[in-house]
Amino acid sequence: MSTQSRLENKARSFGENIESDLASRFLRVVEVAAIASAHTMGQGERKLSDQVATEAMRQTMDSIPMRGTIVIGEGERDEAPMLYIGERVGAEFPDGREVPEVDIAVDPLEGTNLCATGAPGSITVLAASERGGLLNAPDCYMEKIVVGPSCKNAVELDAPVSDNLKNIAKRMERDVEDLVVIVLDRPRHEKLIADIRAAGARIRLIGDGDLSAGIAAAVIGTATASLRADSRPRSRSLSIRSGVSVVVQSRLTSAGDL
């Protein structure tokens, strides 16, 4: 096979494996957004922190060879100037070679208040898949339970908190009293907090940054058993630490129900 043919075959297959072809480019996207927002850390301007992260992320995305669609972003089209749901991002190859179709979910700065006050825990977030691989969720609240692999099928959205905690403890070969549940500190979670404490588990309240806490709950060694919170793209979630991979159950909920 000639060198030219090999190059043509390689070009035609670009993007078939998102992890190998695009992961390093997506890493650059979140790095640039993180650096941009870091320059505003501690200035007390949460909107500015989010703005610079969003602008940096959007600009860098347009350097990536892909036909990307934002399926979860900064809001609906009339609510956000960029990275809104349905926005097209990415670039074409100058020579016209094919580029992959990609669905993208982003939060340019998760934990804007944390960044604005100089507190730790804010992160920039991007998830990507082949076209159709991510839930194209509307801009609303969502009830979620996120568990590690050892707790698969051990929790239910409609089950009482005490039952879920007992099932989690059983799967993790621990007592309920050994579990630590991270809860987003909001008035609407008062009953949830009471139910968790009544079941015997411990709680760590956080003001912001539940996505980081959810990731921590899925990683061994963080001393976190679960997360219960709500956030945009609008989730009320329970996340159980027991390994690296996670299983997600979800149900859409109107904002007025929370």
Q: How far is the C-alpha of 211 from the C-alpha of 239, rounded, in Å?
A: 10
Instruction: Report H helices in 39-127.
Output: 46-61, 112-117
Strand partners, 110: 123
Classify residue 177 by its DSSP letter: G
Q: How far is the C-alpha of 17 from the C-alpha of 30, rounded, in Å?
A: 20
Identify the pLDDT of residue 186. 85
Q: How confident is the model at residue 11 (pLDDT cuts 50, 70, 90)?
A: very low
The residue count for the chain: 258
Cα 68 to chain centroid distance, Å, stands at 18
**Is the CATH code 3.30.70.20 the one for domain 141-257?**
no
What average pLDDT does this structure show over 225-238? 46
What average pLDDT does this structure show over 14-27? 82
Does residue 253 carry a pLDDT above 80?
A: no
Does residue 78 carry a pLDDT above 50?
A: yes
* pTM, 2 dp: 0.73
Identify the pLDDT of residue 199. 95
Structural fold of domain 3-130: Fructose-1,6-Bisphosphatase; Chain A, domain 1 (3.30.540)
Backbone angles phi, psi at 108, to 5 degrees: -55, -30
- Convert the pLDDT of each residue in 27-74 to its tens digit: 999 999 999 999 999 999 999 999 999 999 999 999 999 999 999 888
The ranges assigned to domains in the chain are 3-130, 141-257
